[in-house]
Amino acid sequence: MIFPPELLTIMRKCDYIAVLTGAGTSAESGVPTFRDAQTGLWAKYDPQELATPEAFTHNPQLVWDWYAWRRELVAESAPNPGHFALADMASHPARFTLITQNVDGLHQQAGNDGVLELHGSIRRIRCSQDDRIVTEWSGDPRCPDCGGWLRPDVVWFGENLPADALQFASQAARGCDIFLTIGTSGLVQPAASLPLIAAEKGAVTVEINVEDTPLSRFMDFTLHGKSGEVLPELVTAVWGNDSA
Ligand code: OAD
């Protein structure tokens, strides 16, 4: 891909890069994006109806089974070149913050530290009653302490985001020089407002996505392509071949 030369110069000189990623970043790792995750057995369910506290109250086993299936997909997946390029990017500017809506843990697996997980982690399980993180149970997914139903430690529609992660993410959006928005449809708040906050505070904004999104028209630069291809090329174009 030919990148705008001014973008390369800005990235090379900037002190603080913040990045927001979404499900598109993991698509090339074989983790279906949230809105594509309805295949096979699960085709008849709407994720917006499964990923809610109401669905869980109504049918905890169904919601548990859906997440167990997604957890298996995640366990079988591995970071792709886009994840590794972001781990590499982190070492270049003086400051770097990676904010993700993904619950798959692939950024950490690729080597990024201090990832702000706005929507939690599918790899962690907690008790729905006492909020304790649980690592082992036998038989039914029940808390070994209180017997409450276990649930994934993710944020469902209608639930609050982890306050600390959201506060740090918002600080990053306000303080960064460049804000990259990668592989997200920009439809889910409050994550989708972070690029706009960054733009308002004067950061240079860049979107990487296979298609336009509602955020595209607010961006200084939109790069169309797969993040697993665009990101490694971008890192090499900005910082040279040692980075690839
Ligand atoms: P979506 O599934 O809504 O959007 C994925 C985005 O990635 C779309 O804009 C695609 O065009 C783009 N995309 C797909 N493949 C790509 C690739 N290889 N490279 C670059 N872009 C690609 O996922 P999110 O925006 O992450 O929340 O969804 C946000 C949140 O809504 C999720 O975290 C989840 C959800 O429903 C909760 O579970 C709370």
Residue 243: pLDDT over 60: no
Residues 71 and 42 in one domain: yes
User: Among 1, 20, 34, which is best to mutate for testing ligand 1, by the most ligand atoms less than 8 A from CB?
Assistant: 34
Residues 199 and 227 in one domain: yes
Residues 5 and 54 in one domain: no
pLDDT for res 31:
86
Residue 55: pLDDT over 90: yes
Residues 2 and 62 in one domain: no
Number of domains in the chain: 2
Residues 69 and 126 in one domain: yes
Quick one: pLDDT band at residue 40, thresholds 50, 70, 90? low
d(CA 150, CA 171): 33
Contacts by 123-129 with C-beta closer than 8 Å and gap 24+? Answer: 123/71, 123/74, 124/152, 124/153, 125/150, 125/151, 125/152, 125/153, 126/150, 126/151, 126/152, 126/153, 127/151, 128/56, 128/60
CA–CA distances in Å: residue 66 to residues 12, 62, 63:
43, 6, 5
pLDDT for res 87:
98
Residues 107 and 135 in one domain: no
Q: Could you tell me the two tokens for 43?
A: 């085709």
Comparing 99-103, 110-114, 137-141, 224-228, the range with the smallest average pLDDT is: 137-141
Residue 90: pLDDT over 50: yes
Q: What is the pLDDT of residues 171-201, one digit of tens each?
A: 999 999 999 999 999 999 999 999 999 999 9
Q: In what order do the strands lie in the sheet with 150-154?
A: 133-134, 120-127, 150-154
Residues 48 and 168 in one domain: no
pLDDT for res 48:
73
Residues 59 and 105 in one domain: no
pLDDT above 90 as % of the chain: 87
pLDDT for res 35:
63
Q: Domain range holding 66?
A: 32-76+122-154
Residue 147: pLDDT over 50: yes
Report the largest interatomic distance among the alpha carbons of the chain, rounded to a whole angstrom. Answer: 59
Quick one: pLDDT band at residue 41, thresholds 50, 70, 90? low
**Residue 155 near ligand 1, beta carbon < 6 Å:** yes
Which of 136, 154, 172 marks a domain boundary? 154
Residues 26 and 37 in one domain: no
Residue 142 CA to ligand 1 centre (angstroms): 31
Q: What is the pLDDT of residues 103-112, one digit of tens each?
A: 999 999 999 9
pLDDT for res 206:
98
Residue 244: pLDDT over 60: no
pLDDT for res 32:
74
Residue 237: pLDDT over 70: yes
**Residue 213 near ligand 1, beta carbon < 6 Å:** yes
Hey, which residues does 127 pair with through a beta bridge?
Answer: 150
DSSP state of 192: G
For the entire predicted model, the pTM comes to 0.94
Q: What is the CATH number of the domain that holds 39?
A: 3.30.1600.10
Atom of ligand 1 nearest to the CA of 213: 9
User: Among 185, 207, 222, 231, which is best to mutate for testing ligand 1, by the most ligand atoms less than 8 A from CB?
Assistant: 185
Residues 130 and 183 in one domain: no
Residues 71 and 114 in one domain: no
Residue 208: pLDDT over 80: yes
Q: What is the CATH number of the domain that holds 93?
A: 3.40.50.1220
Which of 110, 135, 154 marks a domain boundary? 154
Residues 102 and 185 in one domain: yes
Residue 27: pLDDT over 50: yes
